[in-house]
Structure 1
Amino acid sequence: MSAETYRDAWGIPHLRADTPHELARAQGRVTARDRAWQLEVERHRAQGTSASFLGPEALSWDRLARRARLADTARRCFTALERKDPETAAWVRAYADGVNEGLTEPGRPNPAPEFARTGLVPGRWDPWTPLGVWLATHILFAGFPAKLWREHISTHLGPEAVALFAADGPGTAGSNGWLVSGERTTTGHALIAGDPHRFIEDPGVYQQVHLSCPEFDVVGLAVPGVPGVAHFGHTGTVAWAITNAMADYQDLYRERLRRTGAGVEALGPDGIWHRAARHTERIDVAGEDTVEVEIIETDRGPVIAGGPEGLDDGTPAALSLRYPPRVTADLGFGALLPLLRARRVADVDRALDAWAEPVNVVQAADTEGGLLHRVAGRVPVRPAANGLRPVPRLGARPRVDRLAHPAPRRPHRRRRGDGQPARPGHAPGRRVRPAAPRRPHHRAARGQGALVGGGHARDPHGHPPGRGRPPPDPPRSPAFRGRTGFRSRTDARSGTDARSGTGFRSGTGFRSRTRAQGRTGSRGRTDT
């Protein structure tokens, strides 16, 4: 057997192979069949070539992708991955090979109507493309756009006006992450609810999938274009879910640039002009002339706004972006295979020590009663002023070789009578500086109160819960749920072995179970 793909009645792919590499290839192939247009769009976004078929509306993104050096950073990260972790690099390469096979498979014409409407032909994926897709998907998560917004307000309305736009008033949205121990569920098993509030996306950023090989048997939500199940997964004995930590791990610097006969120079913190890397790239725009964009990179990072002539508003400055993967050549892909192989929360915890970007809050639980609530990712060490607005180029550069603090985590082994749920992600108690002004505590207090005492308890900081009707009772079986409605559960009696039986339920109420024998079932179809 090389790989088998079984689709249940709802079209969800169940993949089985003899090795993780064969499984990654199968995952890439089935993703190309299901999400071909999405993959093509994301590939172009990572390369900064979206305007070539989407037109001038996509030009601003392409400029940012080129100037921020997203594709070049992804290439660097893959090259470093090949050197440091050849197994994971080969696994990622196998996924990209599978995508190419799925996009060009003979006898399987691509049904996506967008290709016919745009005249676009799917391009070839390079081994580094999954890293580029991951980076392009998350580059705006860390808060540098908020710093640009505060800088804009300060420039035009004055620094005192920045506080008027703070985000610590009552809000209408925000991520929720719940981790409830088995002491508070009717089954005695933990419950995880990962609820990352994202912008409305069509198609969605997640894809339900079941990945099975002799080493692991996992159900979860994959990011199309990236192998494995990074954010939400269930191995049968341990499950994990994430929300955005809203951490501040990107820095913006005000640069002074000048042109010379040899190129471009940047004024350094030492007061000396230093040579900056510079070249020009061309962006094709559908229906319009090709646009040239100047790419400049200083010792702080790529210049994403302005240049030697200053910013568009006439300010004699430019802005460079410093972000961890550009500095360390590491996107954290070394965590993906260990996550799939995890059997207990301690395994998840160790795997996430390799996580880099985006910085997430992760909650995990296993069938032995282990719980985990931690922050995963890399946050640079630098002054607090860097978290608010662009800062002068003067002074020491941020260090990104270690976290600003030891990664906040709350590992916990359940004991009799100890059922306190981990609180949801919110500002009180946070030890990683947030990328935006801290959020109010009322949502966390309301949920905490409902979970621990029917709405009558206070949260760990003494805040009373919100008012209103308490939520319904917890589900009567261990489960983890994402915003898509996807539910993964492990049999309460035989959940100690992922290969003994793993099931999941879609939002329609369908439940599919697969066992060591008879995985193909009768209500779906098998792809070859």
Structure 2
Amino acid sequence: MARIYRDACGVPHVRGASVADVAHGQGLVTARDRAWQLERLRQRATGTTASTVGTTGEAWDRFAVSMRLVDTAQRAFARLGAETQAFLAAYVDGLNAALPTTADRATLVPELATTGVVAQEWPAWMPLATFHAQQVMFADIGPVLWQRRLEEVLGDDAHLLRHEGPLPAGSNAWAVGGARTASGAPMIGGDPHRTFESPGVYQQVRLACDDPDDERDRFDVVGFTFVGLPGVQHFAHAGDVAWAITNAMADYQDLDDVGPDHDGPTVMPGVGFRGPSTELADLGAEALLPLLRARTVDDVDAAFDAWVEPVNNLVMADVHGTVRYRWAGRVPVRDAGGAWTGWRDDPHRVDVGPDGRLVTANDRRGPESAELGAEFSPPHRRERIVALLADRTGLVADDFAAIHDDALLGGLDELRHLLPERLRDFDGVMRADSLAAGAFAAWRAAFVRRVAAHPAFDGLRAPAPDPVVAPWFDVAVAVGHALPALAAATTPLGIDLAVLARLADDDVADLEPAPWGDVHVFDPTHAFDGVAHLDAPTVPRTPVSGDQDCVRCTGGLPGVFEGAYRGSVARYVWDLADRTAGGWVVPMGASGLPGHEHHIDQLPLWAEARLAPIVTDWTELVEETS
């Protein structure tokens, strides 16, 4: 059996003599640390959340069932090779061994005790179902339905609210060659951006295998895993090689008008769904073991040939000095009628030399982007990271952490001509303690509300076609995200923005000056939010720097909600010369148990854009004895 160790942050380090031992140990520590989250993930995958949260879960449950999330996971599991099936089964065996599946054990987990829920055991295919449920809304479903509404109402002007701007999917990842680092080896840094959740979506973990009989299975990997899925997926340092991803913003899901006799997944009645995972019965799990066994960039590259979705930009580097980009996943090739005729097969690999760099931030990279999709994030984050790296050499982890912390707001230049005179000299730096940033944000919120209330948008105010996609159908949210694009247009939709900008300034003229961090605070979502009889665990009101289109992406909803509801759900620096020279951090902590010493102990580090140490010396860790 695997031996379990913990570092000072409570991060689990799992050490076993076989892959099965390691998988079992990972399942064990995941259930110990995240029992409520695992039950919540199981309910979301199976469409049974209403059994815990009541009517607030009904819309999602209908969606999960009609999308056939479980069916896709079961078909995908059946198609896996025996080795990958065994890997998943060993993980689930460990998880089930520690899940509180009896009423007396459930009382030890606060959310389970509050709801009276007893965790259910997992079948071997459940990790695939929970992963599918976490990712299925990460691409095109909401945007496509919103685009239809925009085109119906705004016609040729629909592009004004569907633009290259901040979207719910985004991340930063960058790498430099060894000639630019103090260590002489490549370095990778970055941070994935998602909705903040309590507990966090990513789990820090170390997985080490000392198999005496199989050289392939002598690995030692630190990284981030999706809770409920074994191995490490998107961000990891395996000693000789490291990798990271960002969303490639690819167009890989289609929605089709269907009749009542349609036999397939549906988003809602009358709207059929096609996605790579459902079409191929494949959720990319064949990549999991090859990633753990990777020694070189070529190994990681080959492992990601098995990836399906989300479609990602992949940045890799190894101790031999190779630094490489490719995209990974399944993107359909469509004929003129929209039928899928195959899959794009050129991942557009790019290698850079020791003096080179790679930066990806969900923006248009080049010709490959046009093959993948149509809408991307604006270039601001990428251009800012490039500028911060410039031609610098001697780079160390602290330099990469400083990039994580950069709070210069992209897109401000498009708004300059509309800013009140008192804000014309604002430097655009969205620091939590900045009065100027607070004043700008207050005016921006008032401006968004003024613009969103304009009659030009009245036709967009009908309810969303389904509650699951309602977040995409809020006009004020759409205007807030599109503000730079609207400001760059000449009287968009006949709206006199200059007049509304002046009225917005009048709206906030009597407000007392306050720093940005007074309202821009860390605000993770919890399953109990909006449930009248349940109270979500409290999280300290923590001011954070950044904004929706800063490198330090801590996005709110201007004019609607100024707190930070999404942003960096992990940060990392991987140094290929020495893993311990880098660092990592998550917004909350290693434990999902409210009140536990490691529930929110990383929040102060994360809020200050500092990294927790990566510890690899087994003698500096504490072994669990039970």
Task: Classify the TM-score, shorter chain.
Answer: 0.7 to 0.9
1:154 maps to 2:154: no
Conservation of the 8 A alpha-carbon contact between 1:180 and 1:421: yes
Change (3 A) 1:43 1:18: same
Structure 1 residue 124: Cα displacement: 1.2
Structure 1 residue 484: Cα displacement: 2.7
Post-superposition Cα deviations, 1:200-254, rounded to whole Å, max 9, x if no partner, equal 1111110111111122100011111000010111111111111111111001111
Which residue of structure 2 aligns with residue 34 of structure 1? 33
Conservation of the 8 A alpha-carbon contact between 2:209 and 2:220: yes
Q: How many Å separate the matches in 1 of 2:236 and 2:362?
A: 19
Which residue of structure 1 aligns with residue 616 of structure 2? 514
Q: How many Å separate the matches in 1 of 2:197 and 2:298?
A: 33
Q: Describe the SS at the equivalent of 1:514.
A: coil
Which residue of structure 2 aligns with residue 319 of structure 1? 271
1:90 maps to 2:86: yes
Conservation of the 8 A alpha-carbon contact between 1:29 and 1:98: yes
Which residue of structure 2 aligns with residue 72 of structure 1? 71
Structure 1 residue 435: Cα displacement: 5.2
Matching residue's letter, 2:328:
A
| Percent identity over paired residues | 42
Conservation of the 8 A alpha-carbon contact between 2:412 and 2:428: no
Q: How many Å separate the matches in 2 of 1:245 and 1:199?
A: 17
Q: Please list every run of 5 or more consecutive structure 2 residues that lacks an aligned counterpart in the other structure.
A: 211-217, 393-410, 414-426, 430-567, 586-601, 606-610
Post-superposition Cα deviations, 1:316-375, rounded to whole Å, max 9, x if no partner, equal xx2100111111111111011111111111111011111111111111111110111111
Conservation of the 8 A alpha-carbon contact between 1:48 and 1:62: yes
Change (3 A) 1:512 1:169: closer
Conservation of the 8 A alpha-carbon contact between 1:7 and 1:13: yes
1:443 maps to 2:387: no
Q: Describe the SS at the equivalent of 2:323.
A: strand
1:398 maps to 2:335: no
Change (3 A) 1:90 1:319: same
Matching residue's letter, 1:112:
V
Which residue of structure 2 aligns with residue 409 of structure 1? 349
Q: How many Å separate the matches in 2 of 1:169 and 1:66?
A: 32
Change (3 A) 1:505 1:72: closer
Q: How many Å separate the matches in 1 of 2:572 and 2:109?
A: 24
Change (3 A) 1:320 1:118: same
Picking from 232, 236, 261, the partner of 1:233 is 236
1:356 maps to 2:308: yes
1:111-510 to 2 correspondence within 5 Å? 111-155=108-152, 157-168=153-164, 174-214=170-210, 215-257=218-260, 264=261, 276-277=262-263, 297=264, 302-306=265-269, 318-383=270-335, 395=337, 397-400=339-342, 402-403=343-344, 405-412=345-352, 414=353, 418-422=355-359, 424-432=361-369, 433=371, 437-453=375-391, 483-489=569-575, 491-492=577-578
Matching residue's letter, 1:219:
V
Structure 1 residue 419: Cα displacement: 2.6
Q: Describe the SS at the equivalent of 1:197.
A: strand
Structure 1 residue 25: Cα displacement: 0.8
Conservation of the 8 A alpha-carbon contact between 2:14 and 2:22: yes
Change (3 A) 1:502 1:17: farther
Q: How many Å separate the matches in 2 of 1:193 and 1:490?
A: 11
Q: How many Å separate the matches in 2 of 1:189 and 1:466?
A: 36
Q: Describe the SS at the equivalent of 2:44.
A: helix
Q: How many Å separate the matches in 2 of 1:9 and 1:341?
A: 27
Which residue of structure 2 aligns with residue 291 of structure 1? none
Matching residue's letter, 1:221:
F
Post-superposition Cα deviations, 1:389-446, rounded to whole Å, max 9, x if no partner, equal xxxxxx463135x32x51122134x35xx33445544114052445562332233223
Matching residue's letter, 1:78:
F
Conservation of the 8 A alpha-carbon contact between 2:135 and 2:310: yes
Q: How many Å separate the matches in 2 of 1:125 and 1:228?
A: 17
**Number of residues of Structure 1 aligned to a counterpart in Structure 2:** 426
Matching residue's letter, 1:216:
F
Conservation of the 8 A alpha-carbon contact between 2:309 and 2:329: yes
1:100 maps to 2:100: no
Change (3 A) 1:323 1:175: same
Matching residue's letter, 1:176:
N
Change (3 A) 1:466 1:442: farther
Conservation of the 8 A alpha-carbon contact between 1:142 and 1:435: no
Q: Describe the SS at the equivalent of 1:28.
A: helix
Root mean square deviation of aligned Cα: 2.9
Structure 1 residue 520: Cα displacement: 4.8
Q: Which moved more, 1:322-331 or 1:421-430?
A: 421-430
Conservation of the 8 A alpha-carbon contact between 1:143 and 1:246: no
Matching residue's letter, 1:143:
D
Q: How many Å separate the matches in 1 of 2:328 and 2:222?
A: 21
Q: How many Å separate the matches in 2 of 1:240 and 1:80?
A: 27
Conservation of the 8 A alpha-carbon contact between 1:33 and 1:110: no
Q: How many Å separate the matches in 2 of 1:236 and 1:170?
A: 34
Conservation of the 8 A alpha-carbon contact between 1:212 and 1:218: yes
Q: How many Å separate the matches in 2 of 1:170 and 1:72?
A: 33
Change (3 A) 1:147 1:110: same
Which residue of structure 1 aligns with residue 401 of structure 2? none
TM-score by length of 1: 0.74
Conservation of the 8 A alpha-carbon contact between 2:220 and 2:238: yes
